[in-house]
Amino acid sequence: MNLKFGTDGIRGPVESKITPEACLKIGHATGLVMKELGWNTVVIGKDTRISGYMLESALQAGFIAAGVNVNLLGPIPTPGVAYLTKTLRNKFGVVISASHNDFLDNGIKIFNEDGEKISREVEKRIEKYLSSNLSPVETSQIGKAYRFDESGPRYIEFCKSTVPSEISFSSLRIVIDCANGACYKVSPEIFEELGAEVITIGNEPDGYNINQDCGSTHPEIIKDAVVKHRADYGISLDGDGDRVIIVDEKGNILDGDDLLFILAFANPNRTGPWSGVVGTHMSNLGFEDGIKKLGYKFVRADVGDKYVSEMLSKKGWLLGGETSGHIICKDLVSTGDGTIAALKVISSLLLLEKRPSEVLTNYTKIPQINSAVKVKNKDIINDQELKLLLNEIESDLTVGRVLVRPSGTEPKIRIMVEAPEEKVARKFANDIEKIIESKS
């Protein structure tokens, strides 16, 4: 089995990669590493994919065979698992999810005792055991499984507690797109209990429709819903709830850069842990310039909320995220949390008594084109003809950037081009797409 950790855990098609056998081995290998570290309890959550039922059973069997006790959380957002891993004082937390991918894929994400994605060092230790034979512990030492039925209510109360007591959402009408995923129950309830009038879409999961023409990868859905219902805000989550896109009252789509800028603008304390913001190589150049003009330092991490979190820890800062909508508010949570980010953005705007457009006039994005080409072999990234083209484009760009990279979660090559004019960025992106397609 080619089971290796990527940008965000181990992910792939259920029929060929994330099979029951694979999950059995992942559970067993992870359990062995846990035992070496002196830990013997894990919590397991999942999203709403049909394969989750099957893979949950295999994964827990692997842990139990390694002598690790299991607490089953049921369907719950990925950040909810991170939160419960920390507060229940379990030493590892595992999520069965392929995030924004469709139902044909699934994956495994693993958190440590602090609710953060495990380090590359721990991943390597797990990968080492994945290549060995599965050998259960003695029968007297096998683990036990329990079902924890309070995961949803616990997470709901935590999310509500992050909103200042002086803030009320009672004047707001909010549309929430739950992507037919893990947030379909908890997120609408959170906003309702805070007083908002909530209109929910994407809240009828059937195991197959997760992320299907809905959620944060299809923001046009929430845009239309906000205009139709004359809502104040639209909140679009992804299938496992760790990323968010927000739409304002006029239907303007706010990506992760915009949300980070609002949070940075609203923060009056710009010293110490609040002195800097972490983005990624995908963050817009205009966003970087705007953040610096607010008086913050700015650094870029590799793409992936895990790497943003690691950079925040390295710098000792508290705010960072990705353009895609992974927002990490480390004063509140340990990982990307779409619901928490939405709560904090809307709370910040209420405190400021401003609309998003009033804040976002303080920075201007440079035109950026993003696309992806499906490939059979990601090694195309090393093709000499492609490298030559990229060098030519970079030399032509007086202002802007070009970034071509293999996706860490899908069989795709991702392309990002920034240029002073959109038509120039689009032309360069098309040129790159054509050469990759000709070689795939």
Catalytic residue set: 99
Tell how strand 412-418 and strand 401-406 pair up: antiparallel
How distant, in Å, are the alpha carbons of 8, 39, 42, 420 from that of 254? 23, 41, 36, 21
Q: Using an 8 Å Cβ cutoff, are 415 and 371 in contact?
A: yes
Say how far apart CA 356 and CA 437 lie, in whole Å: 39
User: Hey, is 173 helix, strand or coil?
Assistant: strand
Say how far apart CA 246 and CA 342 lie, in whole Å: 7
Q: Using an 8 Å Cβ cutoff, are 41 and 68 in contact?
A: yes
Structure tokens at 52: 């989750």
Q: Using an 8 Å Cβ cutoff, are 246 and 345 in contact?
A: yes
| 264 conformational bin, left if phi > 0, alpha if psi -120 to 50, beta if neither | alpha
CA angle in degrees (0–180, nearest 5) for 303-307-313: 145
Say how far apart CA 79 and CA 413 lie, in whole Å: 27
Q: Residue-wise over 168-199: b if at least 16 C-beta within 10 A, else e?
A: ebeebbbbbbbbbbbbbbbbbbbbeebebbbb
Residue keyed to tokens 């980010």: 341
**Four-residue CA torsion sign, 351, 357, 363, 367:** positive
Please, is 238 exposed, middle or buried when counting C-beta atoms within 10 Å of its C-beta (0-12, 13-18, 19+)?
A: buried
Residue type, 323: T
- Beta bridge pairs of residue 9: 6
**Four-residue CA torsion sign, 112, 113, 116, 120:** negative
Structure tokens at 300: 């870029």
Tell how strand 92-96 and strand 368-374 pair up: unpaired
| 435 conformational bin, left if phi > 0, alpha if psi -120 to 50, beta if neither | alpha
